[in-house]
């Protein structure tokens, strides 16, 4: 009998599906909710948690008990780190050896890993995660203790620290973080956790090593790789651009009642969170359409590769911008600094963007076909919802509460594809190469 081989891609997909099903089953148990929920809502919540999205059909703070909230938190942590990364961490720390196929898959997820031992990477992933989440929890606790009992404050602090670093957007507050829009400590702690979670573990490692070398004042400092420098620059551009756009567009509208420093804080936070996290300090449905358009672009791009964030990733968008720039300059090679990019990277970036856009357009069409929303700007609302789900962001203009059972299943599928799609695509494009011995004549067609 022929043995059925399961590829790493299939194992990742199966792991996520099993975790989602397990989570939905746990959320259906009597001790997980106050009055019980339908299975479709439990499945939607579990999918949103595992895919670190944050879209909800039922209120996390009032519908779920403490046990239910802890189940959701566990799903966020496991989904954020990734089933494969988490299982490999345990396996590696226990002294096991990684198969060549798993090592190849892992190398394609995290850039520039070829020169680093896998065990070292895995240990640092766990170390960085626990350190950042613990630090954020302590800072948040100092603020929540002013309003809640110690036990409740600790629960809120731990929940939001993990949700923020995992870029999930789940909150144990009914109004998310709108009640803390002017609390600098809370907003900056959550924002910094989101940024660190969206940079990628190898970027964090290189930056940490770079800072350590500077503190030791070594003459030969370890330079940052091209990938890390590219990610940092793109992240700064995305945050600054989003902040400036949000502030200018909403200064005399949504932000008109706030003080100047509150306007700046809100603009910064919404620029950070709408790229992949999903927390909000303002009513998203009340924003101007031009502001929502900017947020759509930020959600589509998302975070950086090798991170917890979703979207097509900052480097993908950056490569496409460099491609357009090089065409205008008439250059054959696409340069990044004093290096030319591999043509295969450019092809992957274009393919990923086209597939992502096609999937979002198709899903929006299906959503509008299934439902007839009684909402203002129903097309924009549905398009925003789908993009948010695909980018694992979690922001909504109010569509989620109007979804039918079929609509919830569709959004759940979009969240899963958004979480695994780019990863699966990269692995598929890099692990399957077919040598073609026949070359066909080249012909020209008209375009444009």
- SS3 for 248-276 is HHHCCCCCCCCCHHHHHHHHHHHHHHCCC
Q: What would the pLDDT profile of 235-267 be if each residue is shown by its tens digit?
A: 999 999 999 999 999 999 999 999 999 999 999
Q: Please give the Cα distance from 392 to 169 (Å, whole number).
A: 9
Provide the residue ranges of all domains of the chain, joining segments of one domain with +. 8-430
Instruction: Output the pLDDT for position 308.
Output: 80
pTM equals 0.87
pLDDT over threshold 60, residue 169:
yes
Residue 425 has pLDDT above 80, yes or no: no
Q: Is the pLDDT of residue 227 over 90?
A: no
Nearest to 309 by CA among 205, 213, 396, 200: 200
Structure tokens at 14: 């199966």
Asked if pLDDT for residue 433 goes beyond 60, the answer is: no
- Taking only the tens place, the pLDDT of each residue in 65-123 is 999 999 999 999 988 877 556 555 555 555 555 555 555 555 555 544 445 566 677 77
More confident residue, 311 or 10: 311
Q: Which residue has the higher pLDDT, 421 or 227?
A: 227
Please tell me the distance from the alpha carbon of residue 121 to that of residue 155, in angstroms, as a whole number. Answer: 30
Q: Per-residue pLDDT tens for 170-205?
A: 999 988 999 999 999 999 999 999 999 888 877 888
Rounded Cα gap, residues 157 and 186, in angstroms? 10
Distance CA 147, CA 153 (A): 8
DSSP for residue 64: B
């Amino acid at each position: 009998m022929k043995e059925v081989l399961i590829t790493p891609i299939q194992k990742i997909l199966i792991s996520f599906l099993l975790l989602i099903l397990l989570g939905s089953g746990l959320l259906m148990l009597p001790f997980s909710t106050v009055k019980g929920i339908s299975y479709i809502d439990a499945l939607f919540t579990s999918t949103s948690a595992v895919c670190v999205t944050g879209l909800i059909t039922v209120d996390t703070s009032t519908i779920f008990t403490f046990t239910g909230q802890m189940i959701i938190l566990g799903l966020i942590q496991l989904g954020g780190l990734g089933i494969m990364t988490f299982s490999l961490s345990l396996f590696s720390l226990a002294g096991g050896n990684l198969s060549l196929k798993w090592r190849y898959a892992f190398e394609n997820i995290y850039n520039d890993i070829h020169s680093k031992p896998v065990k070292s990477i895995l240990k640092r992933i766990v170390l960085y995660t626990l350190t950042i989440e613990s630090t954020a929890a302590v800072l948040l606790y100092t603020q929540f203790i002013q309003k809640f009992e110690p036990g409740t404050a600790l629960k809120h602090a731990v929940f939001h620290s993990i949700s923020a670093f995992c870029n999930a957007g789940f909150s144990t507050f009914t109004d998310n973080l709108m009640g803390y829009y002017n609390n600098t400590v809370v907003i900056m702690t959550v924002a910094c956790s989101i940024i660190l979670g969206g940079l990628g573990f190898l970027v964090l490692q290189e930056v940490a090593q770079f800072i350590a070398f500077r503190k030791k004042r070594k003459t030969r400092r370890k330079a940052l790789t091209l990938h890390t420098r590219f990610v940092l620059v793109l992240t700064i551009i995305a945050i600054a651009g989003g902040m400036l756009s949000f502030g200018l567009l909403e200064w005399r509208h949504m932000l008109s009642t706030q003080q100047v420093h509150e306007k700046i804080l809100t603009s910064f936070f919404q620029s950070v969170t709408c790229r992949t996290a999903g927390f909000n300090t303002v009513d998203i449905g009340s924003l101007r359409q031009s502001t929502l358009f900017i947020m759509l672009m930020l959600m589509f791009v998302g975070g950086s590769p090798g991170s917890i964030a979703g979207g097509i990733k900052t480097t993908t968008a950056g490569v496409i911008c460099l491609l357009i720039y090089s065409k205008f300059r008439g250059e054959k090679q696409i340069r990044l600094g004093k290096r030319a990019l591999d043509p295969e990277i450019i092809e992957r970036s274009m393919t990923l963007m086209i597939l992502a856009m096609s999937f979002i357009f198709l899903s929006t069409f299906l959503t509008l076909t299934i439902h007839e929303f009684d909402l203002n700007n129903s097309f924009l609302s549905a398009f925003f919802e789908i993009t948010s789900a695909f980018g694992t962001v979690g922001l909504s203009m109010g569509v989620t509460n109007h979804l039918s059972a079929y609509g919830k299943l569709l959004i759940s599928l979009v969240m899963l594809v958004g979480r695994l799609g780019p990863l699966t695509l990269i692995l598929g494009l890099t692990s399957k190469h077919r040598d073609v011995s026949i070359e066909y004549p080249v012909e020209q067609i008209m375009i444009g």
